[in-house]
Amino acid sequence: MAYAWIVAVVLVSVGSASAAEPVRSVDIYVQPFYEAPKKPGDKPRVSVGRSFDALLASGRREDVLAVRDRVLAEPAMITPMTMMVLAIRLYDVSLRDDAVFWFYAAKERYIMLSQVIDVNAGGLADVDAAIKSFATLAGPVINGYAFCDQKNQRDLHAKAIAWVEANPYQVMFFPELPGRPGTRADNHKRALGAMKANAAKEAAYFDDPRNVESFYATRKRTEADVKYCWN
């Protein structure tokens, strides 16, 4: 999955939901990993791992936070899909800064994986499709909130990249998965550099007052603040 595709989702998805009222949950489904509740009071259907599913399906904030804390404690083998669902559920329990962080961390972890491993040859095409679906479907809501405060969004993105750098996804180094041409160490280093460079490009975009004016004019037109900047 090309990094440019992810940047496009970040930049154009904000404010794209339809109803001009507060959006308090991420009501999407990405088979087979996640399906939002069909009606109020129901639990979502979660299938990212038996040790996480029940906690992520809980409506209790402390249960969702317990998953976050377990991911922080033992990050090496946590899948991007688990992190995406964690981001969704954090948003649903109104921990939206945490949701933004984990949404970005999930995307960046997967991008890193895809630049080291040949995901199609490795039998990970379904994972690739799922991450793209999560980014496309959850992005409008999570980015909608993130860009309520662009400085906060930039800081959270930078923290997510730092976390991905500090906690390499160990699946990248499984010998049974085919790597891209070159050494995995070199590809990992190259992917990390590209990730930081693209984050810098995104930041530079918003350093131009004309871009900021245009961006937030679009948010105003789509009533994004009503939808996402509630307290």
Question: At residue 5, does pLDDT exceed 90?
Answer: no
Q: What is the pLDDT of residues 45-82, one digit of tens each?
A: 999 999 999 999 999 999 999 999 999 999 999 999 99
Rounded Cα gap, residues 132 and 185, in angstroms: 25
Average pLDDT over residues 80-103: 98
Dump the DSSP string for the chain: --HHHHHHHHHH-TT--S-SS---S---EETTTEE--SSTTPPPEE-S-HHHHHHHH-S-HHHHHHHHHHHHHS-TT--HHHHHHHHHHHHHTT-HHHHHHHHHHHHHHHHHHHHHB-TTTTT-HHHHHHHHHHHHHHHHHHHHHHTTSHHHHHHHHHHHHHHHHHS--GGGG-TTSPBPSS-HHHHHHHHHHHHHHHHHHHHHHHHSHHHHHHHHHHHHHTTHHHHH---
Mean per-residue pLDDT of the chain: 92
What tens digit of pLDDT does each residue of 169-203 get? 999 999 999 999 999 999 999 999 999 999 999 99
Whether 2 shows a pLDDT value over 90: the answer reads no
Q: What are the backbone angles phi and psi of residue 129, rounded to the nearest 5°?
A: -65, -40
* pLDDT reported for residue 65: 98
This prediction's pTM: 0.91
Which residue shows structure tokens 């693209």? 198
How many other β-carbons are positioned within 10 Å of the β-carbon of residue 220? 12
Of residues 105 and 5, more confidence is placed in 105
Per residue in 144-165, pLDDT tens? 999 999 999 999 999 999 999 9
Residue 114 in contact with residue 140, Cβ under 8 Å? no
